[in-house]
Amino acid sequence: MRFFALAAATQAPVPPDATLLPTWIGALATAAGVLVAIVAILFTYNQVRLTAEQLRRASAQAAQDSEDRTRPYVAMNIVPSIASHGALDLVITNTGATAATNVRFELLNSEFGLSDDDTRIGPQLRDFFSTPFELAPGARMRLFWHLPESSGDRSDKPGAMGAPVTGELQATYSRDVDGQPGAQEYVTKHRYDFTLWPKITPEAWTGSTNQGNSDDPLTHLKNINFGLRAIAHHLGETTR
């Protein structure tokens, strides 16, 4: 009995840290669980944020696609004139799905009328472009744009008429929304340079002319024949 008491008395005491080990393990497990939960929350938040951003982008893209499909498009093209050789015409077309309203044109960094004697084309173009107008879907307009100086004109101040052969044209327009003028405006620019272009652009041919007696019915028949052949030739070329 005395031996057991002595053994118990001489046994080493339990270190204080050993008694706290289960508490530390529990605390670490709890901290790890909290950390995992925080990481999961952050990951979920990031996924939700990315999903919301994708939805916003998709919605904005869908709205833009709808706008692109329904908006007006005012296109400009300057082509050889049907009036005379060397002249130019301006072709305006609304290729969009809705009417272009409040259409205004501006010739950038230049002006209409290349001479003081321009009393035909330049002022009319200035007046036309200074007045807003509407262009329905699919509507097409063709206007005089440039008339070169004619050797047959008798004037103290001769010169070309209309717009210069080189420049930049700008169209500004909008569209109605629910019957009211829309706030958004569209801008289309068209830069052109016809110092060389007319020289390499094919033009329509009017056909040969018989140089016989103008009073001879046969002369008229030959001219008609030449004209019909020219028409047939041009119609065939349009199918290429």
3-state secondary structure 16-40: HHHHHHHHHHHHHHHHHHHHHHHHH
pLDDT attached to residue 204: 67
Q: Which of 37, 70, 103 is the last residue of a domain?
A: 70
**CATH label of the domain that carries residue 122:** 2.60.40
> How many Cβ atoms sit within 10 Å of the Cβ of residue 112?
22
- Domains held by the chain: number: 3
> How many Cβ atoms sit within 10 Å of the Cβ of residue 216?
11
pLDDT attached to residue 101: 92
Please enumerate in sequence order all residues whose Cβ is within 8 A of that of 146, keeping only pairs 6 or more positions apart, or say none: 81, 87, 88, 121, 160, 161, 162, 163, 164, 165, 194
pLDDT attached to residue 16: 55
Do the Cβ atoms of 86 and 149 come closer than 8 Å?
no
Q: Does 23 lie in the same domain as 52? A: yes
- Please choose, from the candidates 201, 103, 115, 130, the residue with its C-alpha nearest in 3D space to the C-alpha of residue 164: 115
Q: Does 126 lie in the same domain as 79? A: yes
Residue scoring higher pLDDT (177 or 139) = 139
Q: Does 101 lie in the same domain as 54? A: no
Lowest mean pLDDT among 82-91, 94-103, 116-125, 191-200: 116-125
% the chain with pLDDT above 90? 16
Do the Cβ atoms of 163 and 111 come closer than 8 Å?
no
Q: Does 79 lie in the same domain as 37? A: no
- For 113-128, what is the mean pLDDT? 66
89 vs 7, 17, 53, 79, 142, CA distance in Å? Answer: 121, 99, 49, 5, 7
Q: State the chain's mean pLDDT as an integer.
A: 76
Domain of residue 143 covers 74-200
Q: Is the pLDDT of residue 154 over 60?
A: no
Q: Does 124 lie in the same domain as 32? A: no
Q: Are strands 166-174 and 186-193 parallel, antiparallel or unpaired?
A: antiparallel
Q: Confidence band (pLDDT; 50, 70, 90) for 74? A: very high
pTM over 0.85: no
Lowest mean pLDDT among 11-20, 60-69, 83-92, 167-176: 11-20
Q: Confidence band (pLDDT; 50, 70, 90) for 159? A: low
Q: Does 60 lie in the same domain as 10? A: yes
Q: Confidence band (pLDDT; 50, 70, 90) for 85? A: confident
Residue scoring higher pLDDT (14 or 198) = 198
pLDDT attached to residue 179: 75
Do the Cβ atoms of 170 and 108 come closer than 8 Å?
yes
